[in-house]
Amino acid sequence: MKRTSFLIAAILIAFLLLSGCTKNLTREEGILAEVSVAEDSSYQATFEELNLGVMLDFYLKLPQADSTLVKLSAEGYQNGEKVHEKPLLTISYGLNQQESEEGHIGMGIINPSGDNTMLTLFAPGSSSQSDNIAKYIHQDTNLVSTWDDALGDTELSLKAGESAILGAYREAENEIGMHDLQDQQSVETMIESDEIVLLLKMKVEKQTEK
């Protein structure tokens, strides 16, 4: 049954990866990436309806895809401390042959309530799955969990060298407080107060040579 769930999840993520498309996007001065929450995401709904897990789904536009490198990373925190010196998972996307491109990016947790829980990051044409992260989440059945996105109904624009938090998976005891993921002090308070925090981060870089 677990193997079937992972197979279905992999197929669904594959559809996400193939959903990238090429468009003539307007090149605003210095803007390398534009990100927004994927509205009424059918991928997210299907993922959850099939009980495969939970995910955060965003829509990415790269007006300079041929010279832009996007790096996604997932950082884990437990009781205020990093669970590992390096991110739990990373992927890179960009430097395409097309001048501009857009598609889905995000983070998901496969089989979140089971013994074999996997973290996944995805972008058009690229995905990666972690080893079992069950030891980091759902250790205490009394904890409540939630997903937060940092963007709301706004579109985030990033220039070369800029980074941002896109969203977070959180577990806390009894209740989960509200935090502004675009405010560093608020994020630090969240990490200290929650038992488990997984942060989805994004960074963009400008490269002239592939």
| Lowest pLDDT segment from 12-26, 141-155, 196-210 | 12-26
Q: What is the pTM of this model?
A: 0.84
How many CB atoms neighbour CB 207 within 10 A? 12
* Percentage of residues in the chain having pLDDT higher than 70: 83
Q: Is 124 helix (H, G, I), strand (E, B) or coil?
A: coil
Q: Is the pLDDT of residue 67 over 70?
A: yes
Rg (CA), the chain: 17
Report the pLDDT value the prediction gives residue 23, as an integer from 0 to 100. Answer: 52
Q: Is the pLDDT of residue 115 over 80?
A: no
Average pLDDT estimate for 186-200 = 95
| Lowest pLDDT segment from 89-98, 109-118, 133-142, 170-179 | 133-142
Q: At what angle do helices 42-49 and 2-17 cross, to 10 degrees?
A: 180
Structure-model confidence comparison of residues 200 and 19, the more confident one: 200
Q: Is the pLDDT of residue 13 over 80?
A: no
**Among 110, 121, 120, 114, residue whose Cα is nearest residue 135:** 114
Q: Is the pLDDT of residue 179 over 60?
A: yes
pLDDT band at residue 51 using 50, 70 and 90 as cut-offs: confident
* DSSP strands (E only) in the chain: 31-37, 53-62, 68-78, 81-82, 89-94, 101-110, 118-123, 126-129, 143-149, 156-159, 163-173, 196-206
Report the pLDDT value the prediction gives residue 10, as an integer from 0 to 100. Answer: 54
Report the pLDDT value the prediction gives residue 202, as an integer from 0 to 100. Answer: 97
Burial label, 52 (beta-carbon count in 10 A; 0-12, 13-18, 19+): buried
pLDDT band at residue 145 using 50, 70 and 90 as cut-offs: confident
Average pLDDT estimate for 76-98 = 91
